[in-house]
Amino acid sequence: MRLFNKVAIVGTGLIGGSIALAIKKKRLAGEVIGVSRHKKSLLLAKKKGAIDRGSQEIDIIKGADLLILATPPSTIIDLAPKISQIIGKGCIVTDVASTKEELVSSLSKIFPNYVGSHPLAGSEKRGIINADPEIFKNSLCILTPIKNTTEKAFKKVNLLWRQLGAKTVLLSPKSHDKILSFTSHLPHSIAFSLINSMPLSYLKFASTGLKDTTRIASSDSELWTDIFLSNQKNMLKTIGLFQDALSRIKSAIQKKDKKQLTLMLKKAKNKRDRLGDYCH
Amino acid sequence: MRLFNKVAIVGTGLIGGSIALAIKKKRLAGEVIGVSRHKKSLLLAKKKGAIDRGSQEIDIIKGADLLILATPPSTIIDLAPKISQIIGKGCIVTDVASTKEELVSSLSKIFPNYVGSHPLAGSEKRGIINADPEIFKNSLCILTPIKNTTEKAFKKVNLLWRQLGAKTVLLSPKSHDKILSFTSHLPHSIAFSLINSMPLSYLKFASTGLKDTTRIASSDSELWTDIFLSNQKNMLKTIGLFQDALSRIKSAIQKKDKKQLTLMLKKAKNKRDRLGDYCH
């Protein structure tokens, strides 16, 4: 089913590349255009059949009826004014950034047909080399329409994600950033801190527990710096709540308070056991 | 290859049950005896072919030439004096507990032929129902012999673990507890705290990152209370070091210090990427 004539994807990395591959595979667009700072990324995207044409020059997006911004948040903010002078006013625009409040506020003023997206389908891997058209299958994609979002933008972007295999759910940008600061950004900040606090020579004794708790510490450093800063207020709050929870466990260990410690660990186990129910 | 005539395993849970299954599968013993507080566990162990006979009464271990203590640390300490009156002085004794300093000090005084073991092969699952003779294959098993450990005990227990497929490595009980407080106990305390700080209603937005970082929070609450308290001093230190590392990230977010934040995240990524090299 062809949904678009010309889809332009700015940022042909893991997510942008995976969307491109899935659109091509499902024949959802007449052509898919890629833009990247990296020539190698474009060459590989072309070779993998993710894009029909690619360029390091942004002008190639001219005439697109869908534009997907798939770079880190700060790059999106930087590029948006220039992009708005190239694409037509009817062009539907979305992004795939992990924070929404700042971006939606800015992009909805610049693009008349914009709606924010956040597919919960990344991984610690990066680059077109790891792109996979199947990563959105059974994943959750959060859409963040606001009062002035056009029905046309919302309907088409919603349909796109469903065609890529995702379940879509709506949240306000504010709720999105609050929730994601807990479910995604906090675990990342903890994984980075955990591995940073570990003596290098001890790594050879790592068991699966350490490997799993720190897997996401291999995530892209610049992208996550961007995400943390773009969700600053929520991050400070959620890190604070986690610090309190850890302090309570530390204090029970200090006091050798077996009863209280068992209670906290049981509460954690019961909650974590419920996570198995949510499979995206 | 038969290494023992009668092996007695006290605690037929995940680890004890897996050892029993592996010993039976490899025909390393004439017979395997199980002791558990839970009748159900013994019945299932018998049904799975992990043990030849089982009992809730400890007297059944009489005449064993290898005794494996596979209960939580505090239960081992409680049971040891009584057990020493039942088994012969020549019986080789080992345990599989996650902390060693307190246990080795206590058990080496009680049993003439004792050496401590810690197979790094558990999981968040528990019970004989999840036991698997293959979990030790390519895993690491830490042995903690001390000055008065007999050669007989060390050689036989070392050989047993190798026969079960594990690589063995030697550490002093003190080094063991220090290293494991970083590589295993700290990640557990963090996983428990992370899930405890999460609003229940947000769990439906969990992505693979949250699931992986909190998987071990499903671990047995009583066992982990025991482990934390039995490694109290190290735990307080390592939690403190982690708290410092997280505070540094929080502070960089607060100051919007992009450069410093990227540096810390890159350091974490580089270290975590090296973990892939250590596959047990």
CATH class of B4-171: alpha beta
ipTM of model: 0.89
B160-205: pLDDT as tens digits? 999 999 999 999 999 999 999 999 999 999 999 999 999 999 999 9
CA distance B170 to chain A (A): 12
| Partner B contacted by A149 (CB < 8 A) | no
Q: Say whether B209 and A216 touch across the interface (CB within 8 A).
A: yes
Q: What is the DSSP letter of B27?
A: T
Q: Do A206 and B278 touch (CB under 8 A)?
A: yes
Residues of A in contact with B210 (CB under 8 A): 183-184, 187, 275
Confidence of residue A1 (pLDDT cuts 50, 70, 90): confident
> Which positions in chain A touch B118 (Cβ < 8 Å)?
none
Q: What is the Cα–Cα distance from B136 to B134, expressed in whole angstroms?
A: 6
Query: Does residue B163 sit at the A interface (CB-CB below 8 Å)?
Result: no
- Contact list in B for residue A140 (CB cut-off 8 A) is 205, 207
B-chain residue closest to A196, CA distance = B268
Per-residue pLDDT of chain B (280 residues; tens, 9 = 90+): 899 999 999 999 999 999 999 999 999 999 999 999 999 999 999 999 999 999 999 999 999 999 999 998 899 999 999 999 999 999 999 999 999 999 999 999 999 999 999 999 877 788 999 999 999 999 999 999 999 999 999 999 999 999 999 999 999 999 999 999 999 999 999 999 999 999 999 999 998 889 999 999 999 999 999 999 999 999 999 999 999 999 999 999 999 999 999 999 999 999 999 987 554 4
CATH number of B175-275: 1.10.3660.10
Domain boundaries, chain B: 4-171, 175-275
Q: Please tell me if residue A72 touches chain B, with a CB cutoff of 8 Å.
A: no
Q: Collect all residues with Cβ–Cβ distance below 8 Å to A155 and sequence separation of at least 6.
A: none
Q: What is the pLDDT of residue A280?
A: 47
Is the Cα torsion angle A144, A150, A155, A160 positive or negative in sign?
negative
Q: Return all residues near A165 (Cβ < 8 A) that are at least 6 apart.
A: A22, A134, A136, A137, A138, A139
Residue B223, both tokens = 């066992």
Asked if the C-beta of B230 comes within 8 angstroms of chain A's C-beta atoms, the answer is no
Contact status of A203 with chain B (Cβ, < 8 Å): yes
Q: What is the pTM of this model?
A: 0.90
Partners of residue A179 in chain B, C-beta under 8 Å:
202, 205
Banded model confidence at residue A277, pLDDT cuts 50, 70, 90: low
CATH for A4-172 is: 3.40.50.720
Give CA–CA dist B115/B265, Å, rounded. 41
CA angle in degrees (0–180, nearest 5) for A237-B199-A219: 65
B223 touches A: beta carbon within 8 Å: no
